[in-house]
Amino acid sequence: MKEALNAIRQQAMDQIKEATSPEKLNEIRVAILGKKGELTNILKSMKDVAPEDRPKVGQMVNDTRAEIENVLEEAKKSLESALRAERLKAETIDVTLPAQKMQLGHRHPNTIALEEIERVFIGMGYEVVEGPEVEKDYYNFEALNIPADHPAKDEQDTFYVNGDILLRTQTSGAQVHEMEKGKLPIRMISPGRVFRADEVDATHSPSFHQVEGLVIDKNITFADLKGTLVAFAQQMFGAETKVKFRPHHFPFTEPSAEMDVSCFKCGGKGCRFCKGEGWIEILGCGMVHPHVLEMCHIDPEEYTGFAFGVGLERIALLKYEIDDMRLLYENDYRFLKQF
Amino acid sequence: MNTALSWIKAYVPDLKCTDQEYMDAMTLTGTKVEGYERRDKNLEKIVVGQIESIERHPDADKLVVCQVNIGSEVIQIVTGAPNAEVGMKVPVVLDGGKVAGGHDGSPLPENGVPIKAGKLRGVPSAGMMCSIEELGSDRNFYPEQPEDGLYVFPEDTEVGADAVELLGMHDTIFEYEITSNRVDCYSLLGIAREVAATFKLPFVPPVIKETGNDEDAGSYISVEVKDPDLCPRYTARVVKNVKIAPSPKWMQRRLAASGIRPINNLVDITNYVMVELGQPMHAYDLSTIAGKKIIVKRANDGDEFVTLDGQTRKLDSGMLMICDGEKPVGLAGIMGGENSMITDDVDTVLFEAATFIGSNIRKSAKRAGLRTDASGIFEKGLDPRNAEVAINRACQLIEELGCGEVVGGIVDVKEPLADLRVLPFRPDKYNALLGTDISEEDMITIFEKLELVYDASARTLTIPSFRQDLVGQADLAEEVARFFGYDKIPTTLPGGNALGGLPHKLRVEAKARDIAEYCGFSQAYVYSFESPKVFDKLLIPADSPLRQTVTISNPLGEDFSVMRTVSLNGILTSLATNFNRRNANVRLYELGNVYLPKSVPVTDYPDERMQFTLGFYGDGDFFTMKGVVEEFLDSVGLSEKRTYTADGSLPFLHPGRQAVITYKGEKIGFLGELHPQVCDNYDIGDKVYVAVLDMPAVVPFTSFDHRYEGIARFPAVSRDLSMVVPKTVTAGQIEEVIEQRGGKILEECKLFDVYEGAQILTGYKSMAYKLTFRAKDRTLEDADITGAMKKILNGLESLGIELRS
């Protein structure tokens, strides 16, 4: 009996070793362990074994069966894993073939610049408000301390609808609308479209965009204006950016300043981009003129404030190195897709 | 405004700085220097040489060989100059030196022209003798330069001296951007005063002495100002026995450096005073002044006048004229008349220094089409006190230059001069506004440097008349800030906390941008004004209210003359640009306003309506665009039923492929295929699909709220419905029936096939829907489905629809 079992085991091991496919392994399983298999046949001959030996023989048969099953299972796993490896190898792709993109659209550089500006100021607690593009003379000029015979009101600069209604030349009118609401303190920016009677060329457009800023509260100082705009410049153009304030004149602010930033291309050493100066003029700003406050029924002895205005196209042209303003309004896809 | 550094130094004698330091310091105190140019930047090794002998060149007819004494030695120079003579003193460039340009006056090379010893036609030449053109200027500014040939120095010039110095060219010209409030800085003295304050140095302006004989100008001339509202002050003085001659070199040099051509002593003096004091002047030949009388009055409409440039100018009653007893002799503040012009044989001169209202000069100059140096200054609005200073300064120069005999007295017609402004001195206020801690003493020092007079007992500041811009405390704070230094003011952030953010409308617009871009549309920016012809291009009928526009009265041209009332033109023009440039499959969107007047003519704010406009050509069709619209509406919370009505009402769209979009009964936009005629009008050779969402209609329905409704736990049951449908019945009608009759358990109805063709009866189409039923709380039973289907089928039958077997 024992010999017979050993013979079966040996035969099974030899056959398994030679098997090259799962199908073959299955045949071996059926031939040995199946209902009509050799090992099953031995079990059937148990009736010839002495009753006292039966448990022992039974144990031997089961051990042999378990042993064969184990080896079979392992052989199967190893065969399958070899087959999978082969298949994976065959499935190798060229990962450098082109991507199938979703063909997303592209945002206009003006909007990209605007969203950056908004992000910075919203982070500093500013609300974004809008003002009308077709504006009344009072809001565009008079309330901003620009008297009736000021050169800025000349027809050559301003598009008029009639004597009283015009296309706003600056977003500063939004300041006045906001102050007139009578809700203090104010901390706002107002982006929008403005119009000037300039012929179209590489650096001019009769329609462009500004972002106006206004803060009104008790104890607002010129130092606050400086600190705010330094923070803006550094978030917009990089933490290394240096800032220079030059005295200037605007009718609606006093003191007034223009702000230059160190050239963000050359870091201030001077390059073609900043015309060798190392500085780039970015915006105009100042402390809100007391007369402007008074016209909006705000007491300049109690409240002070600052205002600033940034040209959006100017930022976009500088930041993204666009050399011709006309590109911004042509909407050629080959231009837009670069943003 | 330009100034020569040498002239500034005449009034700020202790000034010592490099050109760059000057530029930086002045810019930081508010007198912005745009740039500077050293006049001698390419002039090197140039001395005065004397020609000792001239011999013919052996091999060239047009050249001569000169022996030139340059002080230290005698060198040989070959020249072609036609005016070379023995004994002449001329500028000589030595070997290794440099000149600014060639003798023909062509544009100067950036780095000059190096000069080296060499041979000219075989004869050695150790340098070059030069003309004023080679030194970078011309006869306009150096009138003593002969028409052709070498520049010649006066006989008493020292041989070997620095020729560039003698020509006044060791100098730097600074160019400024002067802001409109600083009228005083349109003068050399005004800038010099700022220089002195900036560098904290003494300011030494010229001392104006009394001039004139014991006669009285009043006996030569009388002045009447009939329109004092346009001429607050008119001063006149008289100079007799005038001797016209060139002005001295120092005056010519200063004018040349300011870009003004020296003419003769009289003209040069008026120009010199204009630059120095910022007060334009005029000189008349007194013998041409009829009735010895000056009358200042408005012109009559339609009058004509010949200005001294020989041009006839049309006048109107807004223009102020200087007249004599009979006729106009000058266009006030702009240009004198030909009829009273100074000629070389003038004997007695009438000087005028007046103050005119700036805005009137600006408008008059514009209407007359004549903007002069004088009008450019007058239009800024001058200080009436300066007129008297200027005319006296001119008379002083007349005497100093021996140009004539100044008659005593001044004829001065003026409105009462305003008192000098006195403002309280409030140092705490300045520090509070600036965020600084500047001492009172430092502030007073700054003010006094600017010639404000501090009264310690009254604590007031008296403002000099030339500082018309200093009106209130904020103006004084700025003066403190400028000279304390903007760069020294600390940087702080405003105190207090505030919540920032985007208003809801702008959040919806931001979402519109996101969705458009997800769907492949790129953002366009277009103009708000366009041509009225756009309405024809878009086939908008003549009587359409869309043709009522906000119209610009002074547009850049018809193409930019009306504010748009329909947003399509911008996107179509941009698509056409792309199409013509062969860009394939272009998708664009734009967010911008249309402007609908509330009444015409416009008397109030128009209705500015933000439009979300999309357009594309290339891959896709009507339903592609419809998909984009729905993605957007879904994303901003318009998730209930949107209705698409095909009423063919939009003239610019294909009559059978357009829809008005409504939501809860409100029109929120439209979409469709562009009318082929409109495609032709824009030269787009492809089908174009557009959509416009009227944001003010959309925004009230929008919401960014979300609510979780659970994930279905019970199984769904689906039924396919295959139908033969009359062609006139729309999917919208079918879906309405299905949705109404399917009841709560109908989860979805989805069209999966539409077919028209051979197997289907003419006038019919085949349509197939998959209906999905599900209950939230139980597994549906057959009876539920059968009931619902029965209701649906009954409803569909009434539309003339039959089930396909």
Return left, alpha or beta for A331; rule: phi > 0 is left, psi -120 to 50 is alpha, else beta. Answer: left
Find the CATH number of the domain harbouring B139: 2.40.50.140
Confidence of residue A54 (pLDDT cuts 50, 70, 90): confident
Where is pLDDT greater, at B572 or B339?
Answer: B572
Q: Are residues B690 and B729 in the same domain?
A: no
C-alpha closest to that of B770 among B712, B715, B717, B725 = B717
The CA distance from B578 to B686, in Å, is 12
* Mean pLDDT, residues A258-273: 87
Query: In terms of residue numbers, what domain contains B726?
Result: 717-803
Other CB atoms within 10 A of residue A252 CB: 21
Question: Which of chain A's residues have a Cβ under 8 Å away from the Cβ of B501?
Answer: 122, 127-128
Q: What is the pLDDT of residues A279-296, one digit of tens each?
A: 999 999 999 999 999 999
Where is A87: in which H helix or E strand?
Answer: helix A54-90
* Mean pLDDT, residues A8-23: 87
Within a domain: residue B113? Answer: yes
Find the CATH number of the domain harbouring B605: 3.30.930.10
Distances (CA, A) of B445 to B110, B452, B474, B632: 44, 10, 18, 65
Q: Are strands B335-336 and B746-755 parallel, antiparallel or unpaired?
A: unpaired
Interacting residues of A239 by C-beta distance below 8 A, sequence separation 6+: none
Q: Is B724 helix (H, G, I), strand (E, B) or coil?
A: strand
C-alpha closest to that of A285 among A213, A233, A216 = A213
C-alpha closest to that of B475 among A255, A94, A48 = A255
Find the CATH number of the domain harbouring B786: 3.30.70.380
Q: Are residues B543 and B637 in the same domain?
A: yes
Q: What is the pLDDT of residues B590-645, one digit of tens each?
A: 999 999 999 988 999 999 999 999 999 999 999 999 999 999 999 999 999 899 99
Task: Please tell me the least confidently modeled range out of A24-28, B22-26, B587-591.
Answer: A24-28
Question: Which of chain B's residues have a Cβ under 8 Å away from the Cβ of A132?
Answer: 605, 608
* Mean pLDDT, residues B225-247: 96
Where is B423: in which H helix or E strand?
Answer: strand B422-424
Whether pLDDT at B795 is above 90: yes
Within a domain: residue B499? Answer: no
The CA distance from B394 to B64, in Å, is 47
Reported residue count of chain A is 339
The CA distance from B559 to B172, in Å, is 47
Inter-chain CB proximity A224 and B492 less than 8 Å: yes
Paired tokens of B757: 């063709």
Q: What is the pLDDT of residues A211-263, one digit of tens each?
A: 999 999 999 999 999 999 999 999 999 999 999 999 999 999 999 999 999 98
Q: Are residues B15 and B60 in the same domain?
A: no
Within a domain: residue B211? Answer: no
Tell me, what's the pLDDT at B148? 87
Task: Please tell me the least confidently modeled range out of A47-61, B207-221, B777-791.
Answer: A47-61
Where is pLDDT greater, at B105 or B420?
Answer: B420
SS3 content of chain B, % helix, strand, coil (to 5): 30, 25, 45
Whether pLDDT at B672 is above 90: yes
Within a domain: residue B708? Answer: no
Q: Are residues B136 and B53 in the same domain?
A: yes
> Position of tokens 């140009």?
B403
The CA distance from A22 to A72, in Å, is 10
Q: Are residues B436 and B364 in the same domain?
A: no
Inter-chain CB proximity B435 and A223 less than 8 Å: yes
Where is A17: in which H helix or E strand?
Answer: helix A2-18
Domain final residue pick, B644, B666, B701: B701
The Cα of B251 is separated from the nearest Cα of chain A by a number of Å equal to 33
Whether pLDDT at A155 is above 80: no
- CA–chain centroid gap for B536, Å, is 34
Confidence of residue A153 (pLDDT cuts 50, 70, 90): confident
Whether pLDDT at B561 is above 80: yes
Find the CATH number of the domain harbouring B383: 3.50.40.10
Q: What is the pLDDT of residues B7-42, one digit of tens each?
A: 999 999 999 999 999 999 999 999 999 999 999 999
The CA distance from A205 to B526, in Å, is 11
Tell me, what's the pLDDT at B114? 94
Where is B239: in which H helix or E strand?
Answer: strand B233-240
Confidence of residue B329 (pLDDT cuts 50, 70, 90): very high
The CA distance from B785 to B791, in Å, is 10
The Cα of A97 is separated from the nearest Cα of chain B by a number of Å equal to 22
- Cβ density class A56-76: b for 16+ within 10 Å, e for less: ebeebbeebbeebeebbeebb
> Position of tokens 């009436």?
B384
Q: Are strands B64-69 and B233-240 parallel, antiparallel or unpaired?
A: unpaired
C-alpha closest to that of B34 among A236, A70, A281, A225 = A281
Q: Are strands A279-288 and A304-311 parallel, antiparallel or unpaired?
A: antiparallel
Please say whether the beta carbons of B583 and A333 come within 8 A: yes
Tell me, what's the pLDDT at B805? 66
The interface residues of chain B toward chain A in range 510-529, judged by CB-CB distance below 8 A, are 513, 516-529
Structural domain count, chain B? 6
Rg over alpha carbons for chain B, rounded to the nearest Å, is 42
Q: Is B41 helix (H, G, I), strand (E, B) or coil?
A: coil
Please say whether the beta carbons of B339 and B327 come within 8 A: yes
The CA distance from B788 to B191, in Å, is 92
Read off φ and ψ for residue B622, nearest 5 degrees.
-50, -45
Within a domain: residue B709? Answer: no
Confidence of residue A154 (pLDDT cuts 50, 70, 90): low
Q: Are residues B349 and B290 in the same domain?
A: yes
Please say whether the beta carbons of A308 and A121 come within 8 A: no
Q: Are residues B513 and B530 in the same domain?
A: yes
Strand partners, A191: A211
Within a domain: residue B679? Answer: yes
For helices B19-28 and B188-199, the axis angle rounded to 10 degrees is 90
- Please give the DSSP secondary-structure letter assigned to residue A131: -
ipTM for the predicted complex: 0.88
Please say whether the beta carbons of A28 and A22 come within 8 A: no
Question: Which of chain A's residues have a Cβ under 8 Å away from the Cβ of B436?
Answer: 222-223
Strand partners, B562: B530, B551
The Cα of A58 is separated from the nearest Cα of chain B by a number of Å equal to 52
Report CA dihedral (A327, A331, A335, A338) to the nearest 10 degrees. Answer: 120
The one-letter amino acid at A231: A
Within a domain: residue B593? Answer: yes
Within a domain: residue B367? Answer: yes
Paired tokens of B275: 């630059």
The CA distance from A287 to A257, in Å, is 9
Find the CATH number of the domain harbouring B477: 3.30.56.10
* Mean pLDDT, residues B415-434: 96
- Cβ density class B346-370: b for 16+ within 10 Å, e for less: bebbbbbbbbbbbbbbbbbbeebeb
Q: Is A337 on the interface with B (CB under 8 A)?
A: yes
Q: What is the pLDDT of residues B437-482, one digit of tens each?
A: 999 999 999 999 999 999 999 999 999 999 999 999 999 999 999 9
Q: What is the pLDDT of residues A112-132, one digit of tens each?
A: 999 999 999 999 999 999 999
The CA distance from B724 to B277, in Å, is 96
Q: Is B504 on the interface with A (CB under 8 A)?
A: no
- CA–chain centroid gap for B328, Å, is 36
Q: Are residues B128 and B63 in the same domain?
A: yes
pLDDT over 70, % of chain A: 99
The CA distance from B403 to B390, in Å, is 17
**Taking the CA of residue B322 as centre, how many other CA atoms within 13 Å lie in the half-sphere pointing to its CB?**
35
Paired tokens of B19: 């050109």
Q: Are residues B255 and B300 in the same domain?
A: yes
Q: Is A302 on the interface with B (CB under 8 A)?
A: no
Count of pairs with CB atoms under 8 A, one residue in A, one in B: 241
Arithmetic mean of pLDDT over chain B: 94
Other CB atoms within 10 A of residue A287 CB: 27
Domain final residue pick, B671, B701, B731: B701
Question: Which of chain B's residues have a Cβ under 8 Å away from the Cβ of A333?
Answer: 522, 578, 583, 586, 588
- DSSP secondary structure letters along B19-76: HHHHHHHHHHTT-EEEEEEETTTT-EEEEEEEEEEEEE-TT-TT-EEEEEE-SS-EEE
- Please give the DSSP secondary-structure letter assigned to residue B186: G
Where is B475: in which H helix or E strand?
Answer: helix B473-484
Q: Is B648 on the interface with A (CB under 8 A)?
A: no
Where is A287: in which H helix or E strand?
Answer: strand A279-288
- DSSP secondary structure letters along A194-247: EE-----SSS--SEEEEEEEEEEETT--HHHHHHHHHHHHHHHH-TT--EEEEE
The interface residues of chain A toward chain B in range 174-233, judged by CB-CB distance below 8 A, are 185, 187, 193, 195, 197, 199, 206-207, 215, 217, 219-224, 226-228, 230-231
The CA distance from A122 to A114, in Å, is 12
The interface residues of chain A toward chain B in range 270-289, judged by CB-CB distance below 8 A, are 287, 289
Mutate to test the interface with B, among A226, A274, A312, A326 (most CBs of B within 10 A): A226
Inter-chain CB proximity B517 and A105 less than 8 Å: yes
The CA distance from B284 to B223, in Å, is 14
Rg over alpha carbons for chain A, rounded to the nearest Å, is 42
Nearest to B491 among A123, A132, A223 (CB): A223
Paired tokens of B557: 């041209």
- DSSP secondary structure letters along A106-167: ---HHHHHHHHHHHHHHHTTPEE----SEEEHHHHTGGGT--TT-GGGSTTT--BSSSSEEE
Strand partners, A214: A188, A307
Tell me, what's the pLDDT at A152? 64
pTM of the model: 0.87
Q: Are residues B6 and B125 in the same domain?
A: no
Whether pLDDT at A46 is above 80: no
- CA–chain centroid gap for B539, Å, is 38
Q: Are residues B561 and B687 in the same domain?
A: yes
Paired tokens of B252: 């010519």
Paired tokens of B30: 């508010």
Please say whether the beta carbons of B38 and B112 come within 8 A: no
Please say whether the beta carbons of A257 and A246 come within 8 A: yes
Q: Is A92 helix (H, G, I), strand (E, B) or coil?
A: coil
Q: Are residues B34 and B79 in the same domain?
A: no
